[in-house]
Amino acid sequence: MIKLADSIPVQMKKTALLLALLAIMIPSTLSAKKDTEDKVKIMSFNLRNGDSGDGTNAWSVRYAFTAMMIDDVKPDVIGMQEALDYQISYYPEVLNTYKYVGKGRDDGKKKGEYTAILYNTKTSSVVKWGMFWLSENPDKPGEGWDAAANRTCTWAIMKDKKSGNQYCVLNTHLDEVGVISRHNGISLILSKLSEINKDGLPVVFLGCFNVSQDDVCLSDVESQMTNCRKSADKTDGGITYNAWGKAAQQSQIDHVYYSGFSRCEEFSVLSKKYENRTFLSDHFPVMAVMVF
């Protein structure tokens, strides 16, 4: 009696063996290639103004948990919104690998909220940075158009220490009241980009925009940049403004856009609890993994 295996020609057996080996090797090769891609982890985090009170959600209750989250996730760069001077200054004190650039919106020094850029000094360095106001007079403090408060954009040319790649980060917080202010603020930021980014580096534009991604005020940025939430290889449909758990007020108003990168590998809303602390802020942080 002839066994089935004995009836297969030797050459076919060799071919089958080769194919089996390739099936094992190809995924690991692709994985190795993926792991060697140059990437940066960029976070946007509306920290919630520390002077807002908030009872059981007060800054004095939650500040340590925000540092736990950053230490756990270890983003390369964080665009923070609403941070007061004592809030943004806290992180370099407890996370000694992080520093920040930014100024207060009310005097261009330390007064008022910051749209600060926090960065991990182990992985990143700042080449240059600056800040301007979203108003008719962007070089000095002041409200723009119909805004309810001073609004700013902080920018930085960052360098990834591992790859040497440079890229531009724009961090802003658009007005929650002024419709004209939001639209004109976006236009101003985009118009200043060519001046800021003279070398045509990859760009990440992020922040609390105070509108959902289908709002008309974002039409210019939607036409010129790519929306991470919409385009990422792996994405997240979660809400970003959690309103301290008040479901009726929750929404997606924190966004990340980019240009010049090859793609966004992952966009995620970070809602993990730290020591059973549900809310680190009234916004969940969002993070985009960008690939050069």
Alpha-carbon Rg of the chain, whole angstroms? 23
pLDDT reading at 196 higher than 90 = yes
Rounded to an integer, the average pLDDT of 2-23 is 49
| pLDDT tens per residue, range 127-170 | 999 999 999 999 999 999 999 999 999 999 999 999 999 999 99
CB count in 10 Å sphere of residue 92: 14
* Better-predicted residue by pLDDT, 8 or 181: 181
CA 276 to chain centre: 24
| Mean pLDDT of the chain, nearest integer | 92
166-173 and 203-208 strand pairing: parallel
Rounded-to-integer distance, Cα 22 and Cα 28, Å: 10
User: Is the domain 39-291 a CATH 3.60.10.10 member?
Assistant: yes
Q: Name beta bridge partners: 77.
A: 42, 119
Report domain extents, the chain: 1-36, 39-291
Rounded to an integer, the average pLDDT of 99-115 is 98
Q: Tell me whether residue 16 is exposed, middle or buried, using C-beta atoms within 10 angstroms of its C-beta: 0 to 12, 13 to 18, 19 or more.
A: exposed
Instruction: Name which of 71, 260, 42 is nearest 171 in CA terms.
Output: 42
Rounded-to-integer distance, Cα 163 and Cα 231, Å: 24
Rounded-to-integer distance, Cα 277 and Cα 170, Å: 30
Instruction: Name which of 89, 46, 69 is nearest 282 in CA terms.
Output: 46
Element containing residue 35 per DSSP (H, E): helix 10-35
Long-range CB contacts for residues 211-214, cutoff 8 Å, separation at least 24: 211/174, 211/182, 211/253, 212/251, 212/252, 212/253, 213/252, 213/255
pLDDT reading at 271 higher than 50 = yes
pLDDT reading at 28 higher than 60 = no
**Residue 36: predicted pLDDT:** 84
Instruction: Name which of 248, 254, 240 is nearest 282 in CA terms.
Output: 240
* Better-predicted residue by pLDDT, 182 or 5: 182
N-term to C-term CA, the chain:
61
How much is the pTM?
0.88
For residue 220 the two structure tokens come to 């210019």
